[in-house]
Structures are given as structure tokens and as C-alpha cells.
Amino acid sequence: MSLIKVYTDIGLKKPVVLLAKICKKTGKKNYHIKYLSPTDMKVNGQKVYNYENILYEIDDSSVSEYLNTDDESVIGYKRVDEGFVKVDDSDYEPSSSESDSESESESLVDEEDDEDEEDDDEEEDFSEEEE
């Protein structure tokens, strides 16, 4: 089961990208996935995330990014008894391949993308929500 980021329509102007895991490949380019979603639980004041029980079928055009890992800790989540919590940014050290890909993608941002980001401020990414 590989982790991916998925373009998801949650009723806003633009789709948002949510974290999910591929549970099963159902066709040449189709997958059954489960989203990693915030819960009402907290551990040590941190919001707990769990995979939803519902399987969603998507095709590969909905995939924003293949994360090439099954390990949530690689992307900044820590397993706890209740599910997962986000690792505090000050404690989180990305792998060398992750930090390389981030710096490459940051250098590809142009002025038009910066304008789009202003519009995105209205949108929430529920997979990244913290309190």
C-alpha cells in the first residue's frame, strides 16, 4: 500500500490535495484508496488522524503525487495507539530525498502560481488541519 496525494473536490472553488493510501489496484489505472482524515481525538494536545473506513475508487488522473513510501513517518506523521499525529515541524527532519524534491519544486514556482496561492488562502486542507 503506497501513500499518495489526491486531488479531491470538497465543494470549494478548486479541488484540494488530501493524503491517502492505496489499498488495492482495481484496474489498469484505477485504485481503491482510504483518506487520512482528522478525528475529534487528541493525544498530548495534538490532533489525531486515522484512515477512513470507506474505500473510494479513483483513477490515476486524480493522483497529485505518488509519495513512493508506505511509511507515514517519512512524510511527517507519527504512529500513536489512536492513529497518527503530525510531527512538530521543529522536531521533523525530512529525508534527504524529500528535502531535495521540496527545494526543486519551490524553484519551479512562478509569479502566476503566487497569485493563485492568494486565492487558495480561503480553502482548507483537512488532511493538514491542526489546532
79 phi and psi, to 5 degrees? -75, 135
Mean pLDDT across the chain, nearest whole number? 77
E strands, 9-88, in order: 16-25, 30-43, 46-51, 56-59, 63-66, 77-80, 83-86
Share of the chain above pLDDT 70, in %: 66
The DSSP output letter for 60 is: G
- The whole-model pTM stands at 0.65
The pLDDT tens digits of the residues spanning 70-106 come to 999 999 999 999 999 998 765 545 555 444 444 444 4
Confidence of residue 10 (pLDDT cuts 50, 70, 90): confident
Place of cell 470538497: 10
Sign, Cα dihedral of 102, 108, 111, 116: negative
The pLDDT tens digits of the residues spanning 103-124 come to 444 434 444 444 444 444 443 4
